[in-house]
Amino acid sequence: MSHTAHIPSHRKPRRSASKLAVRAGVAGGVLSTLAMAGTASASPSEPVAETTLEMPVLNLDLAAEVSSAVTTAAENTRLAAVEGELTAQEESARTGAAAEAKQAKETAQKAAEKKAKEEADRKAEAERATRDSERTSLKSTSTAAKAPQGTGTVTAPATGSAAAIVNFARAQVGKAYVMGGTGPSSFDCSGLVQAAYRQAGISLPRMSQAQSTAGTSVSLNALQPGDILYWGSKGSAYHVAIYVGGGKFVGAQNPSTGIVERSLSYDKPTGAVRVL
């Protein structure tokens, strides 16, 4: 009688190789014991039957487990690399933002310092201008107080015909100089003098040469508002203007300046005549 022990193999998913090896060893030991017992109990006259052992089939999907482990490790490595790159980018962004903030702060500070300096310079310039103006005013007042009546520094307002002439001349300041102009939008030097005297009912010659001889000669130290100033020789003057008092005159100077009011010191005349 054949004593064949058949032990079926059992496969369970994802068993470790060490556990499978232990179980295979135990199964083999049991089979060996059974085989020896069967041989001892058999009759000596009976031939010993050949015993066939079926070993459990160990089907290990080691390749799948290794592949899964490798895939998991690769994914973990990739995630670590991504996390490291993000950390580096965040650090770089923080460093760049700090540098930009520092530069912006320095730029703003420089702009504020420049503005403060410009404001200080402006205030200093305004203060200097105020002091200069005050000194000029004091000097003019002092000079006028010391000057005798009738000199070129007299500040008394013009009256009568002189006032009409002076007021008209000053009203033309800022208009254009045009050669041959007699008004109302532009004048040359003699055209302005002629038009001003017309306001007082006085007719003057048209040309500056004739106007320089139209009245009585007066000293430049005894000028009165309304006097005619001339430049050049009397009778052949090349320019004329009207004295308006306070050491100033109004004249149609040239195409660049037009009609202006200037101090006698700006362009000292040669002489003067009085028609009034």
Asked if 251 contacts 242 with a C-beta cutoff of 8 angstroms, the reply is yes
> Angle formed by the axes of helices 160-171 and 189-198, to 10°?
140
Q: What is the mean predicted confidence (pLDDT) over 116-123?
A: 77
Confidence at residue 64, expressed as pLDDT on a 0 to 100 scale: 73
Q: What is the mean predicted confidence (pLDDT) over 43-66?
A: 56
Confidence at residue 131, expressed as pLDDT on a 0 to 100 scale: 66
Confidence at residue 91, expressed as pLDDT on a 0 to 100 scale: 78
| Site of tokens 């310092």 | 113
Q: What is the mean predicted confidence (pLDDT) over 151-157?
A: 49
Instruction: Report the greatest alpha carbon distance in the chain.
Output: 185
Confidence of residue 29 (pLDDT cuts 50, 70, 90): low
Three-class DSSP category at 276: coil
Domain 160-274, second-level architecture? Alpha-Beta Complex (3.90)
Confidence at residue 273, expressed as pLDDT on a 0 to 100 scale: 97
